[in-house]
Amino acid sequence: MTTVIMRTTARIVVPIVLIVAISLLIEGHNLPGGGFIAGVLTSTAFVIVYIAFGLDFLERGVLGRDVDPGKTPSRDRVVVAYRRLFTVGLAIAVGSGLVPLALDHPFLSQSYIVLEGVPLYHHLEIASALAFDLGVYCVVIGGLLTIISVVGAE
Amino acid sequence: MPPELSVVLAVVTAPFAVAGVTPLLIRSLGEKTGYAGAAVAAFCFALLGTQYGSEGTVELAWIPSLEVALRFYVDGWALLFALLASGIGALVFLYSPAYMHGESGLARYYAALLAFMGSIIGIALAADLIAIFLFWELTSLCSFVLIGFHTDDASSQYAARMAMLVTVGGGLFVLVGFLLLAFVAGDVVGPGTSAFDLAAMLNRPDEMQTALREAGLFVPVLGLLAVGAATKSAQVPLHFWLPNAMAAPTPVSAFLHSATMVKVGVYFVGRIRPLFASLEWVMLFATLGLATMTICALLAVAATDIKELLAYSTASHLGLMIAGFGFTSIVGAETGVFHLFNHALFKAALFLIAGIIAHETGTRRLDELGGLRHDLPVTAFLTAIVALSMGGIPPFSGFYSKELLFEATVEASHHHDLGPLDWLYPVVAVFGSIFTVLYSLRFLALFFGRQPDSLDHVHRPPVILLVSPAVLAALTAVVSIDPELAVRAIVQAGIDATAVDPGTHEMHVGLPTSYSPAVGMSAVAIGSGVLAYPFYDSIHRSIRSIPRTVPPIGANWWYDAIIERLTDDGAWLASRVHNGLLRTYATWTLTATCVLALAGFVATDAAIPTALAGLDVPIPAALVLSLAVVAGLAVVTADSHVAGILTLSILGFMIAIFYILASAPDLALTQLVVETLVLVIFLLVVEEIPEYYEVSLGRIARDAALSVLVGATAFITVLLTTDARPVGESAIARYYTEHAVPEGGGQNIVNVILVDFRSFDTLGELVVIAVAAISILTLIVMRARGDETRSDESSVAIEDAEGGSANEPRESHETRGESE
């Protein structure tokens, strides 16, 4: 599938997909979307990159690292990063649950504040649930991409 | 005087806390860690000493909303047992460094020993049935680790597994017994008190017994708890694990298998005695105890190894204690408590002496040992005290408690109508005691007679090895000289706690001054034992020949047969269910899921709705769904894998459109994205599947049946669940719609539910994703390294290994999929 059509399409589609994913994450509290969908969508963008350019592209082409041709894919630095990502995601999710405990609320209680008069937005609402959603997002991306890159390499 | 919560908590937690840091202690102290352990045990002993004379319940609220509390009950009996465990523990820790000198795995050894001591103290002090059960099983686990200390030795592994299976299995009987007990106790102890509070039950023994009988659960609960106690305390026919457990290092045998763990059953029988005292109780425990006492005494005479002799003798003495508690009279309680105390002192000393003998001579075989008094004079002196006490020879301590047993057997008929058991109990008790005298003399004879030529270089043991048995022997001597001292100090308090009608009797023991039936029985037992001793070898041989001619008479034979059968069946089952083929797993998982779901429907009498009222489908939805059906049919007839997968995804996308039509945009989004991802993953995997393979007719039939079953289950489930949906908006739906904006601050209710109202669920799902990723990673990493040197690289894989070192040819991913 590493054809020219595929590569050209991927170059255009992947940024769009990523932006849509991020907007789904941020808007998820009020419009359709949320951390899980955004995570899966982001993973899909990565999968498109994988299919169009191959598994090593991210390390070699994007990050500009040398890839040791003899090593097993599960030890790729990218895979290590994915693993770190879902660890970080879990930490964010649990951490966002622990903060209310410190403020004498039950575990995982959420709240929100409304900011008025913010430039550009005028009216901005920040929900603490966004932190939890960010955790969900990170775990989903990290988990799915770990699985896909490792299974794909097989 | 009520006990102090802080002290009790410190005593129970200190051993566990130190067990946790044992690896660090080993690093700084090395082999001297044993002394640190001794210090911990002495600390517990001292703290327990401060609670001397106290009685009552203390509790620490744990989860107040569920009425879960850590509850401890302190009385004379609990203190006696906990003091014994910590006191003997301290001596064993003191003995260990010299004995275990040069062994590897000391961190495991000391950690398990400490955790074990903590568990025993926990059992002694816990007042909550669940806590007792947990500590009970913890002792079994620690025992498993300690018996299997020599991990490279097959016999040690066998023994550890056996002890684990028997004692943990017995623990499960206890658990069921506890649950039934709590079920009944709920009404008796009344509201405000936990139904698992043993102390509250012990305050109302008569009401508990009546309630149990009314529920028809008296005999079942008694039986279940008896099985648990019998496995733990090695009662016939579950005694066989104890001699095998002698594969453990000797300090472990001294601590676990003479003084503490095996006494847990006895302790527990004494503890629940006031609850259950009745005719059934006597029939069960007196019979069980006397049978064990006699059979194990016979087997001890048949033993060829000094530790085996002591192990069977321990089982026999445990039988004596169980029998004592089995008699409901006050003398019975005196027998149980006093003998538990005496036995812990002399048997721990004997094991430690056996360890010295094995350590200094290099053998444990009875026929290779003799005349050791020249080389080990101090040990010989100590042995004389404790072995004669074990044999029940006056004026040594064992004599007093055995005399009490004889008295209890004679008195048994005064309390209950026992029929022929009336005279059988005393006869069996005397018969068993003859053998006790025999093997005790045999053990003592190790130090006398001619020294075999093979024993030409026996070293003197280091003083530190002698300290512990000397302390125990000295205590035995004190009890022998003045038994009333021990009674006043601690035994009487234990009796008050285990007696059926406490506080009515003051115990007195001493050398007999006038004739009584018990004195006569003692005289017969000791006289016969001494007279029969010259014929020891022929008795030994004749007992040994019995199991050789009739193997099924030995309990061990049954154990081996059952385990072998279970292993074979397990292997057979594994080859059916767990054969490495994905389709087999899928078949079993799907079948099980469907059958369980359908069984659930049947069990709850769920009726399939016959009239599908209000079945009006809008035309767009009907179109989309029928397209999905067509796609489903097309999947089955597709002529290549790729075509099949692509057609399958049509089905998935149609469902996504259906969600949009049903105004569920979040679901539709998720479905679309997941469908895309799954499609890609399928396409990646499909390359590995062969183009075409032969499928037998039977497998086609199986797959077809399975598909129909899955389809039918899904169909029925949908019918039932949609039918059960409440009419209109349910309360919970209304709650979410009303509170989403004011409380969650979000317009998207689905998302607010996910991240706010039910975020705990979401957190759980996140963990599932993470665990799935880790499992897949592990599976693939392990498969990749499967045939290579596994042990060398296992550490590398765990440590992330950035810029890894394995040299495996990588597949060329770039060329993948060009055939498309």
Whose tokens are 């990502």? That residue is: A85
Last residue of a domain, one of B550, B573, B596: B573
A42, two tokens: 């982001």
| Residue B491: count of CB within 10 angstroms of its CB | 27
Contact B772 A35 (CB under 8 A): no
Residue B337 counted as domain residue:
yes
pLDDT at A154: 66
* Secondary structure class of A101 (helix, strand, coil): helix
* Total number of residues shown for chain B: 820
User: Between residues 95 and 154 of chain B, which touch chain A (CB distance below 8 Å)?
Assistant: none
- Give Cα B85 distance to the centre of its chain: 19
Residue B745 counted as domain residue:
no
Q: Which helix (H) or strand (E) holds B540?
A: helix B536-549
pLDDT at residue B795 tops 70:
no
| Facing B760 at nearest CB: one of A108, A127, A147 | A108
Q: Are B601 and B594 in contact (CB under 8 A)?
A: no
Q: Which residues contact A136 (CB under 8 A, 6 or more apart)?
A: A34, A35, A36, A39, A89, A93, B754, B755, B762, B766
Q: Which helix (H) or strand (E) holds A116?
A: strand A112-118
Backbone angles phi, psi at B151, to 5 degrees: -65, -20
Per-residue pLDDT, averaged over B710-727, amounts to: 83
Q: Are B658 and B625 in contact (CB under 8 A)?
A: yes
Residue B363 counted as domain residue:
yes
Q: Which residues pair with B652 in a beta bridge?
A: none
pLDDT at B713: 93
Nearest to residue B100, comparing CAs of B306, B242, B248? Answer: B248
Q: Which residues contact B498 (CB under 8 A, 6 or more apart)?
A: B77, B270, B271, B273, B274, B325, B333, B336, B337
B178 vs B182: CA distance, rounded Å: 6
**pLDDT, tens only, B212-270:** 888 888 999 999 999 999 999 988 888 888 888 888 888 888 888 887 888 999 999 99
Q: Residue B793 — pLDDT band, cuts 50, 70, 90?
A: very low
pLDDT at residue A75 tops 60:
no
**pLDDT, tens only, B430-479:** 999 999 999 999 999 888 888 887 777 777 888 888 889 999 999 999 99
H-state helical runs in B327-368:
330-361
* Total number of residues shown for chain A: 154
Contact A150 B801 (CB under 8 A): no
B444 vs B666: CA distance, rounded Å: 83
pLDDT at B786: 56
Q: Residue B682 — pLDDT band, cuts 50, 70, 90?
A: confident
pLDDT at residue B596 tops 60:
yes
pLDDT at residue B392 tops 60:
yes
Q: Is B673 on the interface with A (CB under 8 A)?
A: yes
A127 chain-B contacts, CB cut-off 8 A: 744-746
B309 vs B387: CA distance, rounded Å: 12
DSSP assignment of B59-111: EEEEEGGGTEEEEEEE-HHHHHHHHHHHHHHHHHHHHHHHHTTT-S-HHHHHH
**pLDDT, tens only, B530-568:** 999 888 888 888 888 887 777 777 788 888 899 999 999
Per-residue pLDDT, averaged over B675-682, amounts to: 84
Percent of chain B with pLDDT over 70: 93
Q: Is B793 on the interface with A (CB under 8 A)?
A: no
Q: Are B345 and B382 in contact (CB under 8 A)?
A: no
- The amino acid at residue B459 is H
pLDDT at A127: 77
Contact B747 A69 (CB under 8 A): no
Q: Are B87 and B45 in contact (CB under 8 A)?
A: yes
Residue B791: domain span: 758-800
Whose tokens are 């007279």? That residue is: B531
B408 vs B413: CA distance, rounded Å: 9
pLDDT at residue A89 tops 60:
yes
pLDDT at B802: 37
Residue B82 counted as domain residue:
no
Return the residue of B nearest to A112 by Cα. Answer: B745
B512 vs B757: CA distance, rounded Å: 77
Backbone angles phi, psi at A65, to 5 degrees: -100, 160
Q: Output the CA torsion B636→B638→B643→B647 (10° steps).
A: -40
pLDDT at A68: 59
Residue B661 counted as domain residue:
no
Q: Are B80 and B490 in contact (CB under 8 A)?
A: yes
Please give the mean pLDDT across all residues of chain B.
Answer: 84
B704, two tokens: 């077809």
Higher pLDDT, B103 or B595: B595
For the ranges A65-79, B485-499, B706-720, the one whose mean pLDDT is highest = B706-720
Backbone angles phi, psi at B126, to 5 degrees: -65, 145
Residue B560 counted as domain residue:
yes
Q: Is B773 on the interface with A (CB under 8 A)?
A: yes
**pLDDT, tens only, A12-63:** 999 999 999 998 888 887 788 888 889 999 998 988 888 888 777 777 766 6
Contact B777 A150 (CB under 8 A): yes
How far A20 CA lies from chain B's nearest CA (Å)?
12
Among B642, B672, B751, which would you mutate to test the A interface (most chain A Cβ atoms within 10 Å of its Cβ)?
B751
B567 vs B561: CA distance, rounded Å: 10
H-state helical runs in B277-329:
279-281, 287-302, 306-326
- The amino acid at residue B770 is A
Residue B269 counted as domain residue:
no
Contact B745 A2 (CB under 8 A): no
B685 chain-A contacts, CB cut-off 8 A: 151
Residue B218 counted as domain residue:
no
Nearest to residue B376, comparing CAs of B301, B477, B451, B478? Answer: B451
Least confident segment among B465-469, B478-482, B698-702, B743-747: B743-747
For the ranges B232-246, B541-555, B613-627, B712-726, the one whose mean pLDDT is highest = B232-246
B705, two tokens: 């049946």
Q: Residue B312 — pLDDT band, cuts 50, 70, 90?
A: very high
Among A43, A59, A72, which would you mutate to test the B interface (most chain B Cβ atoms within 10 Å of its Cβ)?
A72
B261 vs B117: CA distance, rounded Å: 9
pLDDT at B517: 86
Q: Is B772 on the interface with A (CB under 8 A)?
A: yes
Nearest to residue A139, comparing CAs of B752, B757, B764? Answer: B764
**pLDDT, tens only, B292-310:** 999 999 999 988 889 999 9
ipTM here:
0.86
| Residue B663: count of CB within 10 angstroms of its CB | 8
Last residue of a domain, one of B544, B573, B602: B573
Contact A37 B814 (CB under 8 A): no
Prior bond of B395 cis (ω within 30°):
yes
pLDDT at A2: 67
Q: Is B766 on the interface with A (CB under 8 A)?
A: yes
Q: Is B808 on the interface with A (CB under 8 A)?
A: yes
Least confident segment among B240-254, B278-292, B510-524, B803-817: B803-817
How many Cβ pairs closer than 8 A exist between chain A and B?
192
pLDDT at B784: 63
pLDDT at B734: 84
B383 vs B613: CA distance, rounded Å: 89
C-alpha distance from residue B760 to each of A113, A132, B518 (Å): 22, 11, 68
pLDDT at B66: 66
Per-residue pLDDT, averaged over B424-435, amounts to: 91
Number of domains in chain B: 2
H-state helical runs in chain A:
4-27, 35-53, 57, 77-102, 129-153
Contact B770 A139 (CB under 8 A): yes
B572 vs B565: CA distance, rounded Å: 11
A2 chain-B contacts, CB cut-off 8 A: 814, 817-818
Q: Counting runs of H as helices and runs of E as strands, what totals does chain B give?
A: 35, 2
Work out the burial of residue A8: count CB atoms within 10 Å of its CB; fewer than 13 is exposed, 13-18 middle, 19 or more buried: exposed
C-alpha distance from residue A24 to each of A33, A89, B653, B712 (Å): 5, 17, 20, 37
